[in-house]
Amino acid sequence: MQTTSPLPHRADAAGIAKAARLLAQGRLVAFPTETVYGLGADATNGEAVAAIFAAKGRPHFNPLIVHVADAAAAARQAVFNPLAQKLAAKFWPGALTLVLPRRADATVSLLVSAGLDSVALRVPSHPVATALLAAAGHPIAAPSANASGRITATSAAHVAAELGDKVDMILDGGATPLGLESTVIGFDGGAFDGTWEAVLLRPGAIARQDIEAVTGPLAAAGAAIQSPGQLESHYAPQARLRLNATRAEPGEALLGFGAVGDAWLNLSLTGDLKEAAANLFSMLRDMDDQVGAIAVSPIPESGLGEAINDRLRRAAAPKQTTSRAPAPR
């Protein structure tokens, strides 16, 4: 790994080819997806996957999402149930991650599963991600391209600021369109009567009601933390964060939503949740650089508001929590 920060590289044909060569050598490449930037490595190369954990400073029990070119490539790694097939048909390529049992002959490293017998799979839709998967010819493991516990990166400049000296190349695809990570779905049941239930492991860029239109009511993730990303204080700015604030108190700056007065920045003046999702991490980051305490306007729980509030609550949680963790972080 190099010692100087790589400048973001244009994601043209030469850039994609270079990125694919680096991945084949076991090196790390950050790339844009439609949700957020990913810190990618060849998912079939255990040492390359280990380098992701090292670069992120991520606890080893936190498993990674494996990006694949299409549903057929996903089916080579995991066992699909009928409900998972329906979801994949409806939302792939796109911002949906499915957690499924690993196949015995899966080629992705055991390290991506971090000791679980499942693997998280996603077919991204961003043209740069699609081109990179095609050029690489193998699945790409990629967590969000931020240091562990820090704000998710939604531009190549954010990645450079977060991980610059720890990544071998950054493919610049501009700002990510959705700005919020994928929705992560797991499954319960099936064993006895063949009926499956979908479980919401992480709210994300596809809203609950869009998933539920396919699956029926989603079950909540169990207390045993089926998804370690559910740990509190996962998205942590340095600034203190106060939620559901109607105004900034002295010493605070307001991150507004809707037509509020005196906002330092506003997630969406018109109260558009999609716009707010796309702005969330970059505005948190901007304010974190400049102010010590952030007050955030109330955001409705409907639609994408569920995922936005989930990220905000984590960002506001005390930094070192042991709350529901199965092991020390």
Chain residues in the site for ligand TXA (CB under 6 A): 33, 35-36, 38, 62-65, 97, 99, 113, 116, 118-120, 122, 142-144, 181-182, 184, 201-202, 226-229
* 170 or 291: CB nearest ligand TXA: 170
Token pair 């149930």 in the structure block, residue: 81
Pick from ligand TXA, Mg ion, none: which does 97 bind, CB < 5 to 8 A by kind? ligand TXA
* 15 or 203: CB nearest ligand TXA: 203
118 part of the interface to Mg ion, by CB under 5 A: no
Neighbours of 9 (CB within 10 A): 18
Residues pairing with 212 in the sheet: none
Please tell me the distance from the alpha carbon of residue 159 to that of residue 233, in angstroms, as a whole number.
Answer: 20
**Among 55-63, 141-149, 157-165, 304-312, which window interacts with Mg ion (CB under 5 A)?**
141-149
Pick from Mg ion, ligand TXA, none: which does 182 bind, CB < 5 to 8 A by kind? ligand TXA
* 77 or 215: CB nearest ligand TXA: 77
Residue sitting closest to Mg ion (CB): 144
SS (H, E, C) 188-235: EECCCCCCEEEEEEECCCCCHHHHHHHHCCCEECCCCCCCHHHCCCCC
* 9 or 126: CB nearest ligand TXA: 126
- Check: CB of residue 231 under 8 Å from CB of residue 318: no
- Rounded least distance, CB 245 to ligand TXA, Å: 27
Rg (CA), the chain: 19
DSSP for 20-81, written as a single string: HHHHHTT--EEEE-SSSEEEEEETT-HHHHHHHHHHHT--TTS--EEE-SSHHHHHTTBPPP
Pick from Mg ion, ligand TXA, none: which does 63 bind, CB < 5 to 8 A by kind? ligand TXA
77, 130, 144, 282: residue in contact with Mg ion (rule CB under 5 A): 144
* 109 or 154: CB nearest Mg ion: 154
- Rounded least distance, CB 108 to ligand TXA, Å: 11
Which residues, 6 or more positions from 272, have their beta carbon under 8 angstroms from its beta carbon?
none
Q: Which residues lie near Mg ion (CB under 5 A)?
A: 144
